[in-house]
């Protein structure tokens, strides 16, 4: 009898941590007031919980002077940041300008930016180096007179590479260009202080860090003006109207708090397991290719290409035993645009695997993954 597959797809999503569930519970059952109804006791309590959550997130991420708009997740936060800032800029300037991003961004960044090109904005999508990293020089080369906004993710969801964000900030600052970063894969896995980093807009998501699904936020500097994407009851300073999901907001704050409380412990453990996986596989399958830089990488990510096997065979054979991914959870089965941007062919990209390790993963599971994958690759290559 085959048990459940070993779970190695924690960058797609994570289960809700017990502590997060506990923190949310009273706000489903007892304190169910509407935080916008301040005339009622329940409303005041709910509003206080939301404000406390804001403070918790601010203090964990070192961002006292920033504002937070809660959203349904990182997709919405990215849309609000990019469409909201660009449309406001255009309304003020009387004409659209130029935007820059990287070809390896998540579709939740690429697609809103491509939407803006239909509204008259110009867009440059920089192809990074073959290790997935952008350089300051590449960015500077892409700048134009009309460039007003750059969006570069902090860490990549498929290949885990961590972009040199300080250098990117420096390049943008020196020209007065605003910077947005999609930090949904980096938050909770990297030490972080937003005030130091000086990023203008940042998106995060709850379900990547053992928080609930359906919640995230856009963090932005007070001087940033955004055009809302929807209109209604004026919540979130009219940027994101609609009744806030208080239990999810409380859960997000708890998830951020736990992630930063346990950061160094988790980082160490995850990097140990990831390195064990990579080394164990590489010794047994020497022509295995690592996608993305090994050094500038999230501790829980490994992305590899298996030469000489067909992607659909590899995934079909692995599926009953190991739950991992061929790319982004949102790629609709297409070969990964990230791996193609790194120079992999379509067949190489489809014969690629992203393993993402969880907080509760252990060493014997890594041994099992190595054993299973090596056996499958040997069998597929023997055909």
Ligand X SMILES: Cc1ncc(COP(=O)(O)O)c(C=O)c1O
Place of tokens 């940033």: 224
Give the Cα separation of 206 and 169 in Å (integer): 25
Q: Is 236 in the site for ligand X (CB under 6 A)?
A: no
DSSP 15: P
Pick 77 or 376: Cβ nearer ligand X: 77
Ranges within 330-369 binding ligand X (CB under 6 A): 330
One residue of 48, 294, 316, 329 binding ligand X per CB under 6 A:
329
Pick 147 or 184: Cβ nearer ligand X: 184
Pick 149 or 153: Cβ nearer ligand X: 153
* Contacting residues for 137 by C-beta, under 8 A, at least 6 apart: none
Give the Cα separation of 365 and 349 in Å (integer): 25
* Contacting residues for 252 by C-beta, under 8 A, at least 6 apart: 53, 57, 70, 206, 211, 212, 215, 216, 217
Pick 186 or 376: Cβ nearer ligand X: 186
- Least distance to ligand X from the beta carbon of 217, Å? 10
What's the start-to-end Cα distance of the chain, in Å? Answer: 26
Pick 124 or 205: Cβ nearer ligand X: 205
Ranges within 47-76 binding ligand X (CB under 6 A): 73-75
* Residue 165, token pair as written in the block: 């964000």
Give the strand pairing for 98-102 and 122-126: parallel
Ranges within 202-231 binding ligand X (CB under 6 A): 205, 216
One residue of 58, 79, 104, 184 binding ligand X per CB under 6 A:
184
The CB-nearest residue to ligand X is 73
Ranges within 124-163 binding ligand X (CB under 6 A): 153, 157
Q: Is 325 in the site for ligand X (CB under 6 A)?
A: no
Rounded (5°) CA angle 257-364-162: 45
Give the Cα separation of 120 and 100 in Å (integer): 14
Q: Is 106 in the site for ligand X (CB under 6 A)?
A: yes
Give the Cα separation of 227 and 89 in Å (integer): 9
Rounded (5°) CA angle 355-358-351: 10
Q: Is 182 in the site for ligand X (CB under 6 A)?
A: yes
In the annotation, is 330 catalytic?
A: yes
- Least distance to ligand X from the beta carbon of 16, Å? 14
Q: Is 252 in the site for ligand X (CB under 6 A)?
A: no
Rounded (5°) CA angle 155-57-234: 105
Q: Is 185 in the site for ligand X (CB under 6 A)?
A: yes
Count of residues interacting with ligand X (CB under 6 A): 14
Catalogue the active-site residues: 330
> Rule CB under 6 A: which residues touch ligand X?
73-75, 106, 108, 153, 157, 182, 184-185, 205, 216, 329-330
């Amino acid at each position: 009898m085959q048990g459940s597959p070993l779970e190695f797809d924690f960058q797609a999503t994570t289960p809700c941590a017990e502590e997060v569930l506990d923190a949310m519970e009273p706000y489903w059952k007892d304190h169910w007031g509407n935080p916008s109804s301040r005339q009622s006791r329940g409303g005041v309590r709910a509003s206080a919980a939301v404000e406390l959550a804001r403070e918790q997130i601010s203090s964990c991420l070192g961002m006292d002077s920033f504002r937070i708009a809660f959203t349904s997740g990182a997709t919405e936060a990215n849309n609000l940041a990019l469409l909201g800032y660009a449309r406001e800029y255009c309304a003020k300037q009387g004409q659209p300008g130029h935007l820059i991003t990287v070809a390896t961004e998540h579709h939740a960044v690429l697609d809103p930016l491509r939407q803006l090109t239909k509204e008259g904005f110009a867009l440059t999508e920089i192809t990074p180096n073959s290790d997935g990293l952008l350089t300051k020089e590449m960015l500077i080369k892409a700048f134009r007179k009309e460039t007003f906004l750059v969006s570069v993710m902090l860490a990549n969801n498929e290949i885990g590479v961590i972009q040199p964000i300080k250098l990117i900030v420096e390049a943008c600052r020196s020209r007065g260009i605003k910077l947005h970063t999609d930090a949904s894969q980096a938050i909770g896995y990297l030490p972080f202080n937003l005030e130091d980093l000086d990023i203008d807009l940042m998106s995060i998501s709850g379900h990547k860090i053992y928080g609930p699904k359906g919640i995230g936020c856009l963090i932005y500097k007070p001087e940033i003006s955004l055009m809302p994407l929807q209109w209604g009851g004026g919540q979130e300073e009219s940027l994101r109207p609609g009744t806030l999901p208080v239990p999810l907001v409380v859960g997000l704050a708890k998830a951020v708090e736990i992630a930063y409380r346990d950061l160094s412990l988790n980082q160490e453990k995850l990097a140990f397991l990831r390195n064990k996986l990579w080394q164990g596989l590489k010794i047994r399958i020497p022509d295995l290719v690592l996608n993305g830089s090994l050094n500038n990488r999230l501790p829980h990510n490994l992305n590899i290409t298996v030469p000489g096997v067909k992607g659909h065979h590899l995934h079909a054979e692995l599926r009953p035993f190991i739950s991992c991914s061929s790319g982004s959870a949102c790629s609709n089965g297409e070969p990964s645009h990230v791996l193609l941007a790194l120079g992999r062919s379509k067949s190489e990209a489809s014969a690629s695997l992203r393993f993402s390790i969880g907080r509760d993963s252990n060493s014997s599971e890594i041994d099992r993954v190595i054993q299973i994958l090596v056996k499958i690759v040997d069998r597929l290559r023997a055909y």
